Amino acid sequence: MQSWVDFAAIKQSVPLAPLLRRYQVELRRSGPDQYRGCCPIHGGESRDAFHANLSKNIFHCFACGAGGTVLDFIAAMDRCSVREAAVKLACAMAEPIVPACSKQLVTEKRKSAAPLGFTLRGVDPAHPYLAGRGIQTLTAAHFGVGFYRGSGVFAGRVVIPIHNEGGELVAYCGRAVDGSRPRYRFPFGFAKSEFVFNLHRAAAGQQTVVVVEGFFDCLKVHQAGAPAVVALMGARLYEAQKSALLRHFRTIILMLDGDVAGRRGTAAITAQLRPYVNVHVVQLPDGAQPDQLTTDTARDMLQATLCNLS
């Protein structure tokens, strides 16, 4: 066992950029050697909280307060001490973490995601984590959601398949079940803003759709009997998502979270869509989320809105 490590040498020799790639942290360039994005440590939703300076080899999150050098980054991501992080990096120094040819983070989103050439096998839709969140096994199986016991970046996570408008599988998202960070892990470079979760199913013969924020919101609202429900994977509506919704639906029911972000998102999305389609809002109680509602409560709220449409 290695008893002594040179902290200064590690901080000087190990660049931050490949570590960010290793943990699939997606950042946008904001200046020379400056990047920013969502914080992978506390899983915050703010698009600009996490800052990384590659020339200085440091990072800082203005939301959770985490920051420092590569040692602090590994310690925060792996939930270990700084010394344990130093030992890990000292061992990694013998073999480059990634080829040293590039210091640049690849942060540009792909214009479109090509269909995957594989599907994950051994996905368990009956895992206790799903039952604990009120997701029935039949619902999870319908969406292809389940706990993945295989190897790779999604090992030990609940995986959620994401399809394009034509129903082709383009990505998986992995949801941590044990408090690991990031809470939701997407493939590096995957552009959530280009896709609407479950659109390929919801658009089949329906002109009215319920729009929610997250994957589990979508599963719970579907379980409550909504004929068509999709998720934006956030509280914002991007142009590609807006165009997709307008291609398929004439009436849109917004059922976003009852927090500050959800209220703001509801107002903004209503303004974006109302010139083109009928928009109705299901107002959740303060702080509530669709996936936290009982099936009966969600069904009653939806039926009340649908009755007002007729």
Domains and their CATH numbers in the chain? 7-92 (3.90.580.10), 123-309 (3.40.1360.10)
> Is 33 a residue whose pLDDT tops 90?
no
Reported as a single tens digit per residue, the pLDDT across 228-250 is: 999 999 999 999 999 999 999 99
Helix ranges, 112-178 (H): 128-132, 137-143
What's the distance, CA 36 to chain centroid? 16
What is the pTM assigned to this prediction? Answer: 0.67
Reported as a single tens digit per residue, the pLDDT across 103-160 is: 344 444 444 578 888 899 999 999 999 999 999 999 999 999 999 998 877 899 999 9
Reported as a single tens digit per residue, the pLDDT across 40-81 is: 887 665 677 889 999 999 999 887 788 999 999 988 887 778
Nearest to 37 by CA among 154, 160, 186: 186
Q: How many C-beta neighbours within 10 Å does residue 62 have?
A: 15
> Is 259 a residue whose pLDDT tops 80?
yes
* Helix H or strand E segment including 20: helix 16-22
Q: Cα angle vertex 146, ends 142, 148, to 5°?
A: 145
**What does the block give as tokens for 54?**
């590659």
The residues, any chain, with a CB within 8 Å of residue 217's CB and separated by 6 or more, are 231, 255, 257, 289, 290, 291
Based on the number of CB atoms within 10 Å of its own CB, is 105 exposed (0-12), middle (13-18) or buried (19 or more)? buried
Question: What's the number of CA atoms in the CB half-sphere (13 Å) around residue 227?
Answer: 13
Provide DSSP, 215-226: HHHHHHHHHTT-
> Is 86 a residue whose pLDDT tops 90?
no
Report how far residue 192's alpha carbon sits from residue 244's, in angstroms, rounded to the nearest whole number.
Answer: 13
Beta bridge partners of residue 172, listed in sequence order: 161
Residue 202 confidence (pLDDT):
96
What percent of the chain shows pLDDT beyond 90? Answer: 56
**What does the block give as tokens for 223?**
């379980």
Nearest to 302 by CA among 285, 281, 278: 281
Spell 23-41 as b/e; 16+ CB within 10 A means b.
Answer: bbbbbeeeeebebbbbbbb
